[in-house]
Structure 1
Amino acid sequence: MLVYFRLLSESFRFAMNALRNNKLRTLLSLLGVTIGIFSIIAVLAAVDSLDKKITKDLSSLDKNTIYLMKMSFGPSEIPQWKREQFPNVKYDEYLYLKGAMTNTDQMGYQIFTKSESLKYGSNTVTSVNVVPVSHEFIDIQGLEFDEGRFYTESEANSAAPVVVIGNEIAKSLFEDSEPIGKKIRMYGQRFTVIGVLKKQGSGMFGNDDSSAFIPVNFVRQQFGDNNKGLVNVIIFKPEKGVDMDAYKAEISQKLRAFRGVKSGEIDNFFINVFSGFTDFIDGIISQMNVVGWIISGFSLLVGGFGIANIMFVSVKERTNLIGIQKSLGAKNRFILFQFLFEAIILSVIGGIIGLLLVWIIAMILTKALDFEFVLGMGNILLGTGLAAIIGLISGILPAISAAKLDPVEAIRTGM
């Protein structure tokens, strides 16, 4: 065992000498490994960070939540021209399904509309995400409040001019003053602030901190039910343990009957289960990983050739020393392991440089953007392991050629 420790130590010393004595040549040879490891780990770290962000953003949502609307969350076999003819879901359909559906915990109605500006005195907040929803939305979404409340059923049905605002909006409009009860201007009218949400931070699917929630009936009165610039959605939250296929079939059967869709005709609506959307996102993330591996694989291949090249040069330069070692009794496997260890050490050094670059860039981007890039221990170990494997594969042929040298011929060649 001590022999191998000494062998590893000597290999490390030779690798360091190669770096010191032939800095440019060695660094150029390691550049491929560095770029390859950097590319793979950068992609994996970015995808992992994105995956964690999405998981965090979706943690408060029930994956069985269903969104009934005229658009599909994912790819569809229905031609686009036909999908564009689908009608918006309507408020009366929401009321009908609310009374007709079974095994339903909550059901709400939402309209996706354009952003607006909010004003209070001389303060204005632009590009506010206005969220017109029915009163059930608080139970579907699980909103948490810093102060105040959500609007009631009677306020929602009567289209009362009340608003619940995000934390950032409250700070921008009111600064340090109390927002509850204050009146802000939106859509040319005055809205009374009745609630302020807890600060959550930006998410992948919107930012509640910069959102304003108003009764959906206010927007219906303002723009009507047939406005093509709006997208309506009915949100279902089934009871726990419900057979999702049967529940979706019930929605389809009852809405088809209400709309008068004939037998044999396709549904003119989409029933989007949130879990299907998350599966779609997971598929995209997996594809990003595959593409990253393919692109980075070419860099690793070039890096492997670079390591092999420097090891062949190292064998040639140390031919005389190899002959002396063999003449003094060094076995073939000792010479083999010596050059293998050296190749692995050089490759790992290149990998560590690549990991260091990923860490530096992740730190910079985390501070510059409102997004946390994480370089996990798993990716660090993966990068180091890949570098070691590349070194092992690249060093095999040079190490074998060194181990097979005849000691007499090696000494004579080196003289």
Structure 2
Amino acid sequence: MGFWQLTLEALRSLRANRLRSALAILGVIIGITSVVMMMATGDWMRAFIDKELSRLGRNQLLVFPAAATEGAVRTSGKRPALTLGDAEAIAQLPSVKLAAAEIRGFVQAHFGSDNENLSVLGVTPEMLSLKNWPVEQGVSFDNNDVRSGKRVLLIGAKLAKKYYAGRDPIGQSVRLDGRPYTVIGVLATEGQGLNGNDEGELMLVPITAAPSRERLLPGVVNALTVQGREGTAMSDVEMDVAELLRDRHRITGDREDDFRTIDLAGIAKAGASIAKGLQLGMGLIGAIALIVGGIGIMNIMLVSVSERVREIGIRMAIGAKPRDVLAQFLVEAVVLCILGGLAGLGLAWGAAAAISHFAHFDMPLAVRHMVVAVSFAASVGLFFGYYPARRASKLLPIECLRQD
């Protein structure tokens, strides 16, 4: 009996017991869905991090104020923070190409009669180069605007489309926490950044005109971004920055630093570790579900063998060999699992589409995901279907024909 004929026979047999077959493959469906989603999630996380770091460059360092400690308790806001002067001094280091400062806060933004709570960044002009935030319409602010504290504003493309559809946003007035700012440029930014924020909703102002600056001491900033020169190891850049800040902040001896540094390459490693952890966790769930599903299929096949003893005897009596019976039941188990795999693949596709739509990031399923899903399903069928198939092939025709 050929493979296709065996497959057709398997489908007829499974169709005769639809409910039992559906219940048998439930574990396979859950397992394959978990495996596919595991692979898609890991691929998306790695692709996202690689894309962001290729856009920003891996030779960047983030500098934040450190939390203070009192005994064993960490506190905040009790130490000298980073300043604009720190950014200017760091920019003069031989190992550093650019350094920029930022103040981040949330404001009530009024676009005419519309208003929304949005994040606003007060930055120095160098930040636009460091973060690769090009201006697609209008102009950017410069160091003169920073020195004068001019209330000018750059907005993301998403905000421009949302509030100025069909109108020129340049020259429009936006009130941030009640203060008027003039839009001078629109940023060509889209998608989510490494911090999870939608870059299409960016709002940038000169750091000295940031609405949140009244909550900080004069000249104090929330964070610094440092870009090392090409060919310079980031460990050397980090060491130079740390030495300079310790000197400027008068930190000597064994005193704890009042700042902390984060290498973007370290973020990539952390992201890869998280992705690997997610893959392992979901893979474990998938493996358990596949084992449970495989055991269920083995039980169903054993029941099927016991119900079809007379059929097996008749086949053998008219010339079927043990290997033919083995192949027949093994193909039934494999077909059952492949159907479960295809159903799991469809479920995973629907879940990925829902995540892409509602969470606003793309999680496509690649061809290799589909191949792995079908291969896993077929492997489960072969492994758990072999024992029932072998048991059927070992039956003696005369004993089978005696069964009622």
Give me the TM-score of the superposition, normalised by structure 2.
0.90
CA-to-partner distance for each residue in 1:276-320, whole Å, 9 max, x for gaps?
A: 112111111111111111122222121011110111122222222
Aligned to 1:349: 339
Aligned residue runs from structure 1 range 4-15, under 5 A: 6=2, 8-15=3-10
Aligned to 1:95: 88
Aligned residue runs from structure 1 range 321-400, under 5 A: 321-400=311-390
Distance (whole Å) between structure 1 residues aligned to residue 250 and residue 66 of structure 2: 20
Aligned residue runs from structure 1 range 229-268, under 5 A: 232-268=222-258
SS in 2 for 1:362: helix
SS in 2 for 1:374: coil
Task: Verify the 8 A CA contact 1:43 1:292 in the aligned structure 2.
Answer: yes
Aligned to 1:281: 271
Task: Verify the 8 A CA contact 1:70 1:83 in the aligned structure 2.
Answer: no
C-alpha displacement at 1:130, in angstroms? 0.4
Is 1:119 aligned to 2:110, yes or no?
A: yes
Is 1:211 aligned to 2:189, yes or no?
A: no
Aligned residue runs from structure 1 range 190-205, under 5 A: 190-205=180-195
Letter in 1 for 2:207: V
C-alpha displacement at 1:365, in angstroms? 4.0
C-alpha displacement at 1:399, in angstroms? 1.4
Distance (whole Å) between structure 1 residues aligned to residue 52 and residue 236 of structure 2: 28
SS in 1 for 2:25: helix
Moved over 4 A (4+): 82-86
C-alpha displacement at 1:27, in angstroms? 0.9
Distance (whole Å) between structure 2 residues aligned to residue 300 and residue 192 of structure 1: 60
Letter in 2 for 1:256: R
C-alpha displacement at 1:159, in angstroms? 1.3
Letter in 2 for 1:19: L
CA-to-partner distance for each residue in 1:77-97, whole Å, 9 max, x for gaps?
A: x96616775542122222222
CA-to-partner distance for each residue in 1:232-261, whole Å, 9 max, x for gaps?
A: 111111111102212211111121122121
SS in 2 for 1:400: helix
Task: Verify the 8 A CA contact 2:107 2:211 in the aligned structure 1.
Answer: no
Letter in 2 for 1:42: M
Task: Verify the 8 A CA contact 1:53 1:203 in the aligned structure 2.
Answer: no
Letter in 1 for 2:97: D
Aligned to 1:75: none
Aligned to 1:308: 298
Distance (whole Å) between structure 2 residues aligned to residue 221 and residue 385 of structure 1: 56
Letter in 2 for 1:213: L
C-alpha displacement at 1:395, in angstroms? 0.7
Letter in 1 for 2:385: G
CA-to-partner distance for each residue in 1:334-363, whole Å, 9 max, x for gaps?
A: 322222122111111111111112223333
SS in 1 for 2:109: strand
Task: Verify the 8 A CA contact 1:160 1:218 in the aligned structure 2.
Answer: yes
Task: Verify the 8 A CA contact 1:350 1:387 in the aligned structure 2.
Answer: yes
Letter in 1 for 2:23: L
Give me the TM-score of the superposition, normalised by structure 1.
0.88
SS in 2 for 1:201: coil
Distance (whole Å) between structure 2 residues aligned to residue 79 and residue 340 of structure 1: 64
Where structure 1 has 5 or more consecutive residues not aligned to the other structure, the ranges are: 73-77
CA-to-partner distance for each residue in 1:203-227, whole Å, 9 max, x for gaps?
A: 4532222121111122399416439
Count of equivalent residues:
399
Task: Verify the 8 A CA contact 2:28 2:294 in the aligned structure 1.
Answer: yes
Letter in 2 for 1:98: A
Task: Verify the 8 A CA contact 1:183 1:193 in the aligned structure 2.
Answer: yes
Aligned identity (percent) is: 28
C-alpha displacement at 1:328, in angstroms? 4.1
Rate the CA distance shift 1:323–1:291 in 2: closer, same or farther, 3 A.
same
C-alpha displacement at 1:369, in angstroms? 4.2
Distance (whole Å) between structure 1 residues aligned to residue 359 and residue 254 of structure 2: 51
CA RMSD, 1 decimal: 2.5
